Structure 1
Amino acid sequence: MIEVYTDGASRGNPGASGAGIYIKAQNKTFEYSIPLGEMSNHEAEFYAVLKALEICLQEFPGEILSFRSDSETVVRVIDNDFTKNKTFLPFLEKIRELTAKFPYFFIKWIPEKENSHADQLARKAI
């Protein structure tokens, strides 16, 4: 099972944004800091999940994925597989498409203090 910690950060809302991805896999760790350009914090959080799924598809195809995020909004939308928010809907549709390529995908909300590594990577990307 691959453990994936994601976080999005924005300087301003909207503002310069970045995604942080911290992956624990096969007794190794992988870190990604991805600049995202100008967007809202919620959008950065969704992009962090999307970018992490793209990385997992390339680096860990066929693995079981266990994602963790401190964004209650992102976790709720993905867990419920539903949103009324027109801005979030394209993210959810793309996440559905990517997660379908894995045997199992889980996402869990964690407190910010347990996601500090991904947070640092996201801030570094701004």
Structure 2
Amino acid sequence: MRTARAARGGGIVSRGALPPDLPALLAYLRGERARLDLAPDRRRALADWLAALGGESPAAAAPAPTPAPASARQAVAPEDWVLLHTDGASRGNPGLAAAGIVIYGPGAGANRPELHREGVALGVLTNNQAEYRALLLGLAAASRLGARRVELAMDSELIVRQLEGRYKVKNAGLKPLYEEARLALTRFVAWRARHVPRAENAVADALANEALDSL
């Protein structure tokens, strides 16, 4: 029987004593880990503990997203527009979900510099909930980069049209996320959104699926 050491007290916890929804709980905790401001040694210790609790080797744990380098954090001037690609993926709908985020700096086409990318495990969500969570994480990352103007690129037509006010948000599970996204957008001087083909959102999609594969 595989066992995992408890976080406190050094005791041994039998996997049989853990809740049946442990995989979903671990996925959620790994997603939250990415948002904690921890020293590298403590981040690694937390990752190892989560891996042990899940019955994995520490090397199998999903790596935490790498913070943007200082040069990238200073690369966005207040008048610049950044391009934010986000994608949410859920295997099961609802099921284990993850987000993919890519931020490009000012420019045109292939000349846009990439400022930030990450894939983040989200826990158990529907596809549309994952799309909103990916957007919220992307907006937070853009804000940390100093962006004041953001263009959203998503392959979910539903989310784009809801943000634009063209579609009503009827699903009770989406309303809080929609309201949170609208509030996050008010922190920018200007924003615009466009629906893009899946092929144009391939990098964000790949990051989301890589995060899911690591669970």
- TM-score grouping bracket, smaller chain normalisation: over 0.9
Cross-structure match for 1:46: 132
Relative to the length of structure 2, the TM-score reads 0.56
Cα distance between partner residues in 1 of 2:195 and 2:152: 9
Query: Percent of pairs identical after alignment?
Result: 33
Cα distance between partner residues in 2 of 1:74 and 1:16: 20
Relative to the length of structure 1, the TM-score reads 0.93
- The question of 1:106 aligning with 2:186 is answered no
The 5 Å alignment of 1:51-62 reads 51-61=137-147
Cα distance between partner residues in 1 of 2:103 and 2:181: 18
SS at match of 2:207: helix
Structure 1 residue 85, shift from structure 2 partner: 1.9
Unpaired segments ≥5 residues, structure 1: none
The 5 Å alignment of 1:64-79 reads 64-79=149-164
Look up the equivalent residue of 1:13 and give its one-letter code.
N
Deviating 4+ runs (over 6 angstroms)? none
Cross-structure match for 2:203: 117
Cα distance between partner residues in 2 of 1:96 and 1:112: 23
Cross-structure match for 1:90: 176
Cα distance between partner residues in 1 of 2:180 and 2:188: 14
Cα distance between partner residues in 2 of 1:79 and 1:94: 14
Give the number of the structure whose residues are more often strand, by fraction. Answer: 1
Q: Which has the larger radius of gyration?
A: 2
Unpaired segments ≥5 residues, structure 2: 1-80, 107-111
Cα distance between partner residues in 1 of 2:95 and 2:170: 24
Pick the aligned partner of 2:119 from 33, 37, 45: 33
Count of residue pairs brought into register by the alignment? 125
Structure 1 residue 121, shift from structure 2 partner: 0.5
The 5 Å alignment of 1:3-22 reads 3-22=83-102
User: What RMSD, in angstroms, separates the aligned Cα atoms of the two structures?
Assistant: 1.3
Cα distance between partner residues in 1 of 2:208 and 2:134: 9
Look up the equivalent residue of 1:65 and give its one-letter code.
V
